[in-house]
Amino acid sequence: MKLSRLAERTPPSGILAISNAVKQRAGAGEQLLNYTVGDFNPQLFPIPRLLEDEIVKAYRNRQTNYPATDGNEDLRVAIAAFVKKHQALCYNPSEIMIGSGGRPLLFAAYHMIVDPGDTVIYPVPSWNNHFYVQLTGAIPRVIATEPGNNFMPTAEEIRPFIKEAVLLALCSPQNPTGTCFRAAQLKAICEMVVEENTRRGSEEKKLYIFYDQIYYLLHYGREQHISPVSVCPEVQPYTIYVDAISKAFAATGVRVGWCYGPEPVIGKIKTMLNHVGAWAPMAEQKAVAAFLNNDSAVTVYLNGFKEALLQRLTTIYKGILHMKMKGLPIDAIAPEASIYLSVKIALPQDMTTVLLEEAGIALLPFRVFGAAHAPYWYRLSVGTCRMEDMAPMLRGLQRVLEAHMQPVKEHRVAAGSKTPE
């Protein structure tokens, strides 16, 4: 069937291809430990009770008509207050747009800034930037980040492409790595963007930062979450943030997200999404406004939720370090934020299928996040992880590593080769 050029050149998601295949096998009765999905098991991690009650209440009050096209005013006011409290950033309700989760806002922001043939800079591994670049017909400038920088891009890596770009797509905490920018690292990038926009003057298109911070409330380090405007106030006219309740409140299916930034850009995003109709439902908007305005409910939920996630991440991380100390070819980056752990398995074959077939463990390789340069790295998500499954999972992982390490070790000894980095 002949369709548009866009239909012909848009590939399916490699992430979903693996995750859906694992779900199908589990649905057929296989005993699998599915750590591929950036989602939550609602039986383990339900949404906040107040949010649930407010959603039910809104439906019973027949809040089922169209919401305001840019988002209900009470929700935008609540988000402005929430951003000020949690990030010390000041935005007016008119600078905020509500959408049905973060994805429509990402899609619209790309299309309102990027023309076909424009340049977009983004790091890999990262989530879905390559699809948005394809959909806009942009020219990608891809930063292959390094584990030595916790897979976060640096100003020096970005600098060679800065003069030709109109969009710099960043994410912190990063998906898939669970790692975060350091203040000096992000400040250097933001100062470079400000300097570049000053050079361009009033006639050229500006360079914007699109900052995905959807995991920022799930931050475990002693350092606070940082963002472009917090480290470099001068970059505020060129920064668009995206956020949602999806991850921080285990509400992936509730579909309420928001973006905020300079009003001229946000206004254009509003216009586009008005035509698409990608609004969050009225009842959910009313419920989220009530929930975000209740500081104690937010704090209590986040404290318990973060503790449960960090317990899982830390247990697995310590188990991996124990295997490393025993000489097995495995390592990981210490948990910093989100629901993800970056795991390195230094064996020559792609371990995705091996782990699934021999231990029932499903992980995602970094290659599905565009990082072919990091073939030994995998994302492990704890959003569906039960505490009682972790010890068997670690035993199964160790068993597979031991089985596959010995023949490789013998081959390397015979060939005089080294362990892959």
Helix then strand then coil, % of the chain, to nearest 5: 50, 15, 35
Where do we find the tokens 């029932």?
A: 360
Average pLDDT rounded to a whole number, residues 36-64: 97
pLDDT exceeds 80 at position 56 = yes
pLDDT exceeds 60 at position 420 = no
Asked if residue 382 lies in contact with residue 362, where contact means CB atoms within 8 angstroms, the answer is no
pLDDT of residue 259: 98
Rounded to 5 degrees, φ, ψ at 126 are -160, 165
pLDDT exceeds 70 at position 117 = yes
Tell me: the pLDDT tens digits for 199-240?
998 889 999 999 999 999 999 977 789 999 999 999 999 999
pLDDT exceeds 60 at position 319 = yes
Q: Which domains does the chain have, with CATH numbers?
A: 5-46+298-402 (3.90.1150.10), 49-294 (3.40.640.10)
pLDDT of residue 7: 81
Tell me: the pLDDT tens digits for 1-17?
788 888 887 777 778 78
Report residue 413's pLDDT band, with 50, 70 and 90 as the boundaries: very low
Contacts of 111 (CB under 8 A, 6+ apart): 135, 136, 272
pLDDT exceeds 60 at position 21 = yes
User: Cα 363 from chain centroid?
Assistant: 16
CA atoms of 110 and 250, how far apart (whole Å)? 26
- The tokens for 60 are 């019973």
Q: For all residues of the chain together, what is the average pLDDT? A: 93
Tell me: the pLDDT tens digits for 347-389?
988 999 999 999 999 999 999 999 999 999 999 999 999 999 9
pLDDT of residue 407: 58
Average pLDDT rounded to a whole number, residues 315-344: 97
CA atoms of 277 and 186, how far apart (whole Å)? 34
DSSP state of 218: S
Q: What is the DSSP string of 73-133?
A: HHHHHHHHHHHHHHH-----GGGEEEESSSHHHHHHHHHHH--TT-EEEEEES-SSHHHHH
